[in-house]
Amino acid sequence: MAGSAYFGVWLFAVSAGASALGGTLGMASGIFIVPILTMFAGIDIRLAVPASLVSVIACSCGGAAPFLRASLTNIRLAILLETATTFGALCGVLLSGLVPVAALYLIFAAILALSAWQMLARRAEPTPAPANAADWASLLRLHATYPDHPHGGEIAYRVHRVKLGLALMYGAGLISALLGIGSGVLKIPAMDTALRLPIKVSSATSNFMIGVTAAASAVAYFARGAIDPAIAGPVALGSVLGALLGARALMALSGDRLRLFFAVVLVLLAAQMLLAAAGITLPVAGA
């Protein structure tokens, strides 16, 4: 099947669907693409992971423009948080092998389940808090507004607890490096619960961040010659289309529906981590 025209069309369609889902949630599409490529197409994981990184970059680039035009992405906040995630990932690489993998999977499953519960518990979007010129968010000018298309008008929001957000982003990078998975699934709950961002802003900002994280890994794979153009090409094209569709879906959905959708995905991924802790491993990847 590999190398045929039908296989290329199949890769394109699968990548478009996975990236549309990932783009809507602000997550790396690789967490969906890698299991599909390895379990349903029989592609070696050493080729599937680099292809998924290409899809993550394409998904981020494809979704970034609509989100930026719609003023959903908080660029200042994304750059600040990415430094903490990257530092956590570097520490995770240094600590890899010291913690039992089964224990890490259990911890990750618990974090995902707790994040899902917290996202469902808070139904309403946060309201702006009184200004405090001394806090980090005010000093760094992180507060902003975003358009609420279902209801119309601009909604102002304030970024809360920046120090806690940085700590959680460090933890997301650390855990992702230790487990070899993407940190995008942890970034949005951290932004939603700690920074108290509207769910649409969290998803759009995460989408902007994941491309930066994946680019560094993709360059390393490319230098090693591990990226197969016959696989990565259709995946990249499908990911761009899917990202554009996902961006439109995110802007059209209400915050409550998007939060419920994301919570369901978190529960499913938590179940996957529990299976991995029991020795039933389903491959995951992403940025």
**pLDDT tens for residues 153-193?**
788 889 998 999 999 999 888 877 676 566 667 788 888 88
The two three-digit tokens of residue 205, written as one number: 């900002």
Residue 213: phi and psi, rounded to 5, are: -65, -45
Return the pLDDT at 287.
Answer: 46
Residue 99 and residue 244: Cα distance in Å, rounded?
39
The two three-digit tokens of residue 100, written as one number: 């039992």
pLDDT in tens, 232-265: 889 889 988 888 888 888 777 776 777 787 788 8
State mean pLDDT over 1-9.
72
Q: Specify which of 18-27, 43-52, 132-141, 186-195 reaches the highest per-range mean pLDDT.
A: 186-195
Return the pLDDT at 266.
Answer: 78
Q: Residue holding tokens 């992405």? A: 73
> Could you state, in order of their start, the residue ranges of all structural domains in the chain?
5-277
- Whether the per-residue pLDDT at 140 is higher than 90: the answer is no
Residue 72 and residue 100: Cα distance in Å, rounded?
39
Q: Which helix (H) or strand (E) holds 93?
A: helix 75-95
State mean pLDDT over 110-121.
74
Return the pLDDT at 150.
Answer: 58
Query: For residue 147, what are the CA distances in angstroms to 32, 66, 175, 252, 259?
Result: 29, 13, 33, 11, 17
